[in-house]
Amino acid sequence: MMMQFEEDVALLTDLYELTMAQGYLHEGHNEPATFSLFIRKYPPNRGFFVSCGLEDVLRYLESFRFTPKALDQLHRTGIFSDDFLDYLKELRFSGEVRAIPEGRLFFVDEPVLEVTAPIIEAQLVETFIINQVNLQTLIASKAARCVHAARGRSVVDFSLRRTQGTDAGMKVARASYIAGFSATSNVLAGVTYDIPLSGTMAHSFVSSYEREIDAFRAFARNFPERSILLIETYDAITGAHKAVEVAREMAARNQRLQGVRIDSGDLLTLGQEVRLILDEAGFSNVKIIGSGGLDEFDLDELSQENAPYDAYGVGTKMGVSRDAPWTDMAYKLVRYGERPIMKLSSNKVSLPDAKQVFRFNEVGHLHHDVIALRNEHMDGTQPLLKEVMANGHITAPLPSLGEIREQFRNEFSHLNEKYKELRNPDIYQVNLSPSLQALKESLEQELEAIEVEAGPAQRLTRDLGES
Contacting range for its own copies; rule: CB under 8 A; set: 71-79, 92-100, 396-404, 412-420: 71-79
CA atoms within 13 A on the CB side of 455: 1
Contacting range for its own copies; rule: CB under 8 A; set: 109-117, 198-206, 395-403, 410-418: 198-206
12 counts as binding its own copies under rule CB under 8 A? yes
181 counts as binding its own copies under rule CB under 8 A? no
- Report yes or no: 157 and 172 within 8 Å, Cβ to Cβ: yes
- Report yes or no: 414 and 364 within 8 Å, Cβ to Cβ: yes
Interaction with its own copies in 345-404: which residues (CB under 8 A)? Answer: 345-348
By CB under 8 A, name the one of 151, 248, 418, 462 that touches its own copies: 462
Q: Would you say the C-alpha torsion 78, 82, 84, 85 has a positive or negative sign?
A: positive
182 counts as binding its own copies under rule CB under 8 A? no
* Other Cβ atoms closer than 10 A to 208: 11
Contacts of 141 (CB under 8 A, 6+ apart): 46, 48, 49, 50, 179, 321
By CB under 8 A, name the one of 165, 282, 402, 434 that touches its own copies: 165
Question: Least distance to its own copies from the beta carbon of 464, Å?
Answer: 7
What is the distance between the alpha carbons of residues 158 and 314, in angstroms, rounded to a whole number?
5
Contacts of 364 (CB under 8 A, 6+ apart): 414
By CB under 8 A, name the one of 41, 89, 151, 339 that touches its own copies: 339
What is the distance between the alpha carbons of residues 165 and 198, in angstroms, rounded to a whole number?
21
Interaction with its own copies in 408-447: which residues (CB under 8 A)? Answer: 447
By CB under 8 A, name the one of 51, 137, 163, 258 that touches its own copies: 163
- Report yes or no: 268 and 290 within 8 Å, Cβ to Cβ: no
By CB under 8 A, name the one of 68, 222, 382, 397 that touches its own copies: 222
Interaction with its own copies in 269-328: which residues (CB under 8 A)? Answer: 269, 272-273, 276-277, 280, 316-317, 320-322, 325-327
86 counts as binding its own copies under rule CB under 8 A? no
Give the residue among 197, 192, 185, 177 at the shortest CA–CA distance from 406: 177
* For its own copies, the closer CB: 270 or 370: 270
The size of the interface with its own copies (CB under 8 A), counted in residues, is: 139
* For its own copies, the closer CB: 316 or 416: 316
207 counts as binding its own copies under rule CB under 8 A? yes
Length reported for the chain: 467
40 counts as binding its own copies under rule CB under 8 A? no
160 counts as binding its own copies under rule CB under 8 A? yes
* For its own copies, the closer CB: 15 or 251: 15
By CB under 8 A, name the one of 116, 137, 141, 185 that touches its own copies: 185
- The DSSP call for residue 433 is P
DSSP SS3 for 378:
coil
By CB under 8 A, name the one of 87, 297, 336, 360 that touches its own copies: 336
What is the distance between the alpha carbons of residues 297 and 467, in angstroms, rounded to a whole number?
47
By CB under 8 A, name the one of 265, 383, 392, 399 that touches its own copies: 265
* For its own copies, the closer CB: 3 or 363: 3
Question: Least distance to its own copies from the beta carbon of 148, Å?
Answer: 22
Give the residue among 231, 371, 350, 370 at the shortest CA–CA distance from 287: 231
Angle CA 205–209–215, to nearest 5 = 60
By CB under 8 A, name the one of 67, 85, 209, 378 that touches its own copies: 209
Interaction with its own copies in 136-155: which residues (CB under 8 A)? Answer: 138
Give the residue among 167, 194, 175, 184 at the shortest CA–CA distance from 50: 175
By CB under 8 A, name the one of 218, 378, 394, 422 that touches its own copies: 218
- Report yes or no: 99 and 78 within 8 Å, Cβ to Cβ: no
Strands 365-373 and 355-362: antiparallel
187 counts as binding its own copies under rule CB under 8 A? yes
